[in-house]
Structure 1
Amino acid sequence: MKRIGVLTSGGDSPGMNAAIRAVVRKSMFHELEVFGIYHGYQGLMNNNIKELDLGSVGDIIHRGGTILGTARSEEFKTDEGQLKAVENLKQHGIDGLVVIGGDGSFRGAEKLSQKGIAAIGVPGTIDNDIPCTDYTIGFDTALNTVIEAIDKIRDTATSHERTFVIEVMGRDAGDLALYSGLADGAETILIPEVEYSIDDVVNRLQRGFERGKKHSIIVVAEGSSGGLKIGEEITEKTGLECRVTVLGHIQRGGSPTAADRVLASRLGSFAVELLLQGEKGKMVGIQNNSLVATPISEALAQKHFVDLSIYKLAKELSI
């Protein structure tokens, strides 16, 4: 293997730049040439490929987003689009590809591996919804962004003695809501993995008011029900003035935390090591602080499960 390509795909996440940096510098340490593919799989099909050097990734480890850009591509999902991508890689003499992204990005990497391109997936998504790894790049940073926002909202909730509903990202996975809710002492946490009863939410609020509590925080994952709906239901059933905050894309941005920078550096470097060992069609991850490699097909066949023991703990501590 003499040339490696790297791309970012799907939703951006803090720490992607640190992973790109690791791929480039690890490759150059082993005297490999590195090419950046700009704007994900769409850029790969458009032949938007440029050689990178040490200077290309200088001063980016602390920056959010991705210097390579990202895009979603319907065309790449077709066999014709994938063959076009393979042809462009071969024209540049690229033998291996590191794909940084989520499950959709991994499906693309698996397709390229089946078509003769050695591809390795690096999990980068704030939702932390990729199986076979304890954490994904960007989750810790997004979590801290959410916690900081809730801390500030709690100040005004206390001052005005109101109930606040805060919606965080997590269409299919409730990790952001769960961890931030526990860390911020939320009275109720609603996640897609656990069915909820609005009557239970209301009863918990009322028990708090009966013991003299003047404000409440409810954290809702977007895939559970949606903050606006929960807020309306609470007001309808209790008559309480309820404020709803949807954090939205603020959760994706910002300088990555130390944890995400270290994780991205380890995973990006490990991906290059796997390519040098002749591996393909695998994803890198971390389990119990050890680096692991799992066939992408195996990872995609599994489902991410939230840690329900943390959900149970959060519920017990919010009595």
Structure 2
Amino acid sequence: MKRIAVLTSGGDAPGMNAAIRSVVRTALASHLEIYGIYRGYSGLIEDDMVPMNSSSVSGIILRGGTILKTARCKEFFEEFYQKKGADILRKRGIDGLIVIGGDGSIQGAEKLTNLGIPTVTMPGTIDNDMHGTDETIGHDTAVNAVVSAVSRIRDTASAHNRAAIVEVMGRFAGNIALDAGLACGAEYILVPEVPFSREKLARSLKLQMEAGRTNSIIICAEGADDGRALGDWLKERTDIDICTTILGFIQRGGQPTARDGQLASILGAASVRALLDGETGALVGTKQGKVIILPYAEAKKIKEPFREQLYNLAVMLGAAQNDGDVRETGL
């Protein structure tokens, strides 16, 4: 193997730049040529790539986003464009491709592997919901962004005797809401994995405020409910002053935490070594703190279950003392 390439695909995540840096410098230390592909699979099918050197990644480790840009490429679901991408890589003399992204990015990498292009993928998504790995690059930063925002929101909610809804990302997985909610002491955590009752929430919230609370934080994953609609409904039902904040892309940007910078650096280097060791069609992730390499087919079968014990702990430490469990049914 003499020449490899790297791309970032799907949603951006803090730590992707650290991962790119690690890939580039590990490749150079291994006497490989390294190319960067712009805009993910969209850039690949347009042959938008450049050679990279050590200075190409100088000073990027603490930057959010991705210097290689990213995109969601619908065309790459079509066989014609998959073959076109593989042909471009062969034409460029690329012996292996490293993909940084989520489950959708793995699908594209798997198609290229099936066409004879060695690929490995490292997990990069703030939702921490990828198959086959315990951790994904960007999740820790997103959680810390939510915790920081909630600390500010709680101050102003307390000043006005308000309840506050904080809507966070998580259309299909509530990991950001759960991890951030437990860390910041949210009274209520709403996640798509656990159906909840608006009526129970309204009753519990009213009891909390009548008992003398000066504020109450409801962290709501976007897949659990619409934050603004929920806020309007609760205000009408309880007559409690409620403010709603939708954090949105604040969770995706900004300097990665130390954990995400470390994780990205470790997985970036491991990805290059995996290609050099002949691995292909594999996810380079983590399990119980150790780097693991799993074939895509095997990784697909491994889906982390919802962390029921952690959720139950958050409920107990939150508003549970006043009928704070707002679940429709037990888990």
TM-score over 0.5 for the alignment? yes
Give 1:39's aligned residue.
Answer: 39
The Cα shift of 1:206 comes to: 2.2
Give the structure 2 partner of residue 144 of structure 1. 144
Query: Do the aligned residues in 2 keep the contact of 1:129 with 1:173 (CA within 8 Å)?
Result: yes
Q: Distance in 1 between matches of 2:13 and 2:261?
A: 11
* Other-structure match for 1:250: 250
Which residue in the other structure is 1:119 paired with? 119
Instruction: Check whether the contact 1:119–1:281 (CA below 8 A) recurs between aligned residues.
Output: yes
Pairs within 5 Å for 1:209-220 = 209-220=209-220
1:266 Cα offset (Å): 0.6
C-alpha separation between the residues in 1 aligned to 2:44 and 2:304? 29
More displaced, 162-171 or 209-218? Answer: 209-218
Q: Is the 8 A contact 1:191 1:221 kept in 2?
A: yes
| Structure 1 partner of 2:324 | none
Deviation at 1:212, TM superposition (A): 1.2
The answer to which of 159-168 and 286-295 deviates more is 286-295
Larger displacement relative to structure 2 (234-243 or 145-154): 234-243
**Alignment partner of 1:26 is 2:38:** no
Q: Cα deviations across residues 129-185 of structure 1 (Å, max 9, x unaligned)?
A: 112211100001111111000000000000000011010001111010001111111
Q: 2:53 matched to which residue of 1?
A: 53
Match of 1:176 in 2: 176
Whole-Å Cα distance in 1 between the matches of residues 232 and 205 of structure 2? Answer: 15
Note the C-alpha offset of 1:302: 4.2
* Aligned residue identity for 1:232: D
Which whole-Å CA distance do the structure 2 matches of 1:177 and 1:204 have between them? 19
Q: SS at the partner of 2:294?
A: strand
Residue correspondence of structure 1 range 86-101 to structure 2 within 5 A = 86-101=86-101
The CA deviation at 1:10 is 0.5
Deviation at 1:209, TM superposition (A): 2.0
* Aligned AA (1:135): E
SS of residue paired to 1:244: strand
Tell me the residue number matched to 2:290: 290
Deviation at 1:304, TM superposition (A): 4.2
1:1-319 to structure 2, matched below 5 A, reads: 1-318=1-318, 319=320
In the alignment, is the contact (CA less than 8 A) between 2:132 and 2:300 conserved in 1? no
What is the identity percentage for the equivalent residue pairs of Structure 1 and Structure 2? 50
Supply the distance in 2 between the matched residues of 1:305 and 1:46 (Cα, whole angstroms).
Answer: 39
Q: Which amino acid aligns with 2:300?
A: L
Between 1:290-299 and 1:276-285, the stretch displaced more is 290-299
Pairwise CA distance, 1:294: 1.3
Q: Contact between 1:178 and 1:191, CA under 8 Å: does it hold in 2?
A: yes
Runs of 4+ in 1 over 6 A off after TM superposition: none
Distance in 1 of aligned mates of 2:74 and 2:209:
51
Structure 2 alignment gaps of length 5 or more: 321-331
- 1:210 offset after TM fit, Å? 3.2
Instruction: Return the alpha-carbon distance in structure 2 between the equivalents of residues 98 and 145 of structure 1.
Output: 28
Do the aligned partners of 1:187 and 1:204 also contact (CA within 8 Å) in 2? no
Q: Residues of 1 paired with 2:306 and 2:249: CA distance? A: 22
CA contact (8 A) 2:186 2:218 kept: yes
Q: Output the aligned Cα RMSD.
A: 1.0
Rounded to whole Å, the distance in 1 between the matches of 2:202 and 2:180 is 21
**Larger CA deviation: 290-299 vs 157-166:** 290-299
Normalised by the length of structure 1, the TM-score is 0.98
Q: Secondary structure at the match of 1:291?
A: strand
Structure 1, unaligned runs of 5 or more: none
Alignment coverage as a number of residue pairs: 319
